Amino acid sequence: MLYEVVSPKQGTIFNVNVKVGDVVKPDDELAALEAKKEVSIVTAECSGKIEEILVSEGMEVNVQDVLFKIKSDNQEAVANSEHTNADVAILESDITIIGGGPAGYIAAIKAAKLGAKVVLVEENVLGGTCLNWGCIPTKAIVRSAEVYNEMKEASKYGLNANGINFDMSEIIERKNIIVKRLVNGIEYLMDKNNVNIISGQGRFIDKNTIEVITKNKKTLIHSKNIIIATGSETVSLPIAGADSKNVLTSKEMLDKKDLPKKLAIIGGGVIGMEFAFAFASFGVKVAVIEYMDSVLPMLDNDLIKEITRKAKSKGIKLYTSSEVKEIVDTEDSESIVKFIFKGTPKYIAVDKVLMSVGRKPYFKDLNLEEVGVEISNETRGIQVNDKMQTNIDNIYAIGDVTNKIQLAHVASHQGIVAVENILGTNHKMDYSAIPSAIFTHPEIASVGLSEKDARKQDINIEISKFPYAANGKALAMGEEDGFIKIIKEKDSKKIIGASIIGFNAADLLATLTVAIKNNLTSEEIAKTVFAHPTTAEIIHEGVLAFEGGAFHIA
């Protein structure tokens, strides 16, 4: 029987200690490889004769690449090993996780730290959409846009800067370097926590068995518990012409080194508006077409009004209450976007169209029907309880695949909740204080109840606002646009919601998230000392408005 020896990690082979025909026994050193400046020794796990050597010194290898094949007559040793029959590998685990995004890899680390034997199955690259094609790369590009804006506005800081320009290729390269560094970091953490990574697409054979098939082999993973963390995929509207070569997804847009002169964005949600602000900063003429009555319709009206004003000041055209009907390619490589704007037909000619209408849970080819995992009629994601458990007692689901809240930090926390429940700690997922951030310019961040939701629930509330323009640090930074809005339940004085639109809003929100999570009152926060001068003082002033009045506004 043939036994495969595979690479334990990605790295470079720098020493091969055996040749074809050599007889080896368990723990004999076969080769050494260097990964991230550390040396790993590849050893034999059964007795036998070296049948084939598939590597040479200096060769780059990936995790699970086959390095050697050993012919062994010891049937029991091979059967108990992880790689058998040359085509089939058999693994045993306490927890198997399908998907290596923010939900999956955090769950893997948590489980490993708690002593579980963990296998992580990922068909693409660690980090998932968030790290590779979403949260991180978009923020890298947003940051380049912010710096470019500041350079163009240098004169307002008393500085002179001439010949300001940008190189989109360099911006994309910087983005790629950041992404690669973070992916490498996750790979390092997987290795340090002894998480076994299997590359390929996983599918259920039964409720305790996952099959992973790649071009060269099949892996069967027998697992006590399984966590589904397969994330989500982009949605494309059924519009005539949506298959045009000029229609891009956010993933493709993030690698555009040649910017379009004119860009239509279908969808004025979070992703659409972040791209709108970033590319408008680089001189692209942007038009956002949104079906709802406003962009970012989940926000309160005062925040929508402020971000709409800022978008228009950037030259971004906003077409709300609009329905796209067709995309038609022209002979000169442009596309005509036909849509109905408040009942009136409109036509705009653009170089590219960004389809940004949301994401849907991804569980294609998982074979869920084989084990009877239920799909929620409400969310269209995998049905879970507050322990992240599906209707099958040993199968859990976390992240976007549940479609509860499509945020990376929610996915990560769901992963922690699932693992703790699997390993015996009772932990329920709490969605009452979930922060969210939108990286437009200025940033928008919110947590807890919005004003519109609080009023829908007929909660007796009080609202305070404080403007950035009255904050010394904001003025010194040249960032006076925006405000903080805090919502208090009148009877209990507890802070139940907050929103910030302005400089550094996403980071400032953490304080209010802790306050809402821990049921702090306006009085308790008012008695807290905030450092001066900081933009965090807008939180203090916003709360002081409930307790006798803010100091720096009449």
Q: How far apart are CA 226 and CA 524, in angstroms?
A: 43
Q: How far apart are CA 303 and CA 436, in angstroms?
A: 14
DSSP letters, 142-189, are HHHHHHHHHHHTGGGGT----S----HHHHHHHHHHHHHHHHHHHHHH
**Strand partners of residue 499:** 446, 485
- Is 532 among the residues known to form the active site? yes
DSSP state of 374: P
Question: Per CATH, which fold does 87-233+358-431 belong to?
Answer: FAD/NAD(P)-binding domain (3.50.50)
75 CB neighbour count, 10 Å cutoff: 11
Residue 33 confidence (pLDDT): 86
Which is the CATH superfamily of the domain at 436-544?
Answer: FAD/NAD-linked reductase, C-terminal dimerisation domain (3.30.390.30)
**CA of 544: how far to CAs of 8, 220, 310, 499, 511, in Å?**
57, 60, 28, 16, 15
Catalytic residue among 83, 532, 540, 552: 532
Query: Percent helix, strand and coil across the chain, each rounded to 5?
Result: 30, 30, 40
DSSP letters, 411-432, are HHHHHHHHHHHHTT-------T
What is the β-pairing status of strands 262-266 and 285-289?
Answer: parallel
DSSP state of 59: -
Q: How far apart are CA 284 and CA 485, in angstroms?
A: 32
Among left, alpha and beta (phi > 0; psi -120 to 50; other), residue 416 is alpha
DSSP state of 373: P
Omega of the bond leading into 467 within 30 degrees of 0 (cis): no
Q: Are 272 and 287 in contact (CB under 8 A)?
A: no
Q: How far apart are CA 283 and CA 490, in angstroms?
A: 47
Q: What is the largest CA-CA distance in the chain?
A: 88
Q: Give the residue from 70, 82, 351, 321 showing the smallest Cα distance to 217.
A: 82
Q: CA triplet 160, 166, 168: central angle to 5 degrees?
A: 165
Which is the CATH superfamily of the domain at 247-357?
Answer: FAD/NAD(P)-binding domain (3.50.50.60)
Q: What is the pLDDT along the chain (554 residues), one digit of tens a residue?
A: 677 888 877 788 988 999 999 999 887 889 988 876 677 888 887 788 999 999 999 898 887 788 998 987 654 444 444 444 446 788 999 999 999 999 999 999 999 999 999 999 999 999 999 999 999 999 999 999 999 999 999 999 999 989 999 999 999 999 999 999 999 999 999 999 999 999 999 999 999 999 998 766 789 999 999 999 999 999 888 999 999 999 999 999 999 999 999 999 999 999 999 999 999 999 999 999 999 999 999 999 999 999 999 999 999 999 999 999 999 999 999 999 999 998 999 999 999 999 999 999 999 999 999 899 999 999 999 999 999 999 999 999 999 999 999 999 999 999 999 999 999 999 999 999 999 999 999 999 999 999 999 999 999 999 999 999 999 999 999 999 999 999 999 999 999 999 999 999 999 999 999 999 999 999 999 999 999 999 999 999 999 999 999 999 98
* Length of the chain, in residues: 554
Q: Give the alpha-carbon dihedral of 113, 117, 123, 126, to 10 degrees.
A: 20
Domain ranges in the chain with CATH number 3.50.50.60? 87-233+358-431, 247-357
Residue 78 confidence (pLDDT): 43
Domain ranges in the chain with CATH number 2.40.50.100? 1-86
Q: CA triplet 208, 211, 217: central angle to 5 degrees?
A: 145
Domain ranges in the chain with CATH number 3.30.390.30? 436-544
Residue 85 confidence (pLDDT): 42
Which of 1.10.3720.10, 3.50.50.60, 2.40.50.100, 3.90.1200.10 would CATH assign to domain 1-86?
2.40.50.100
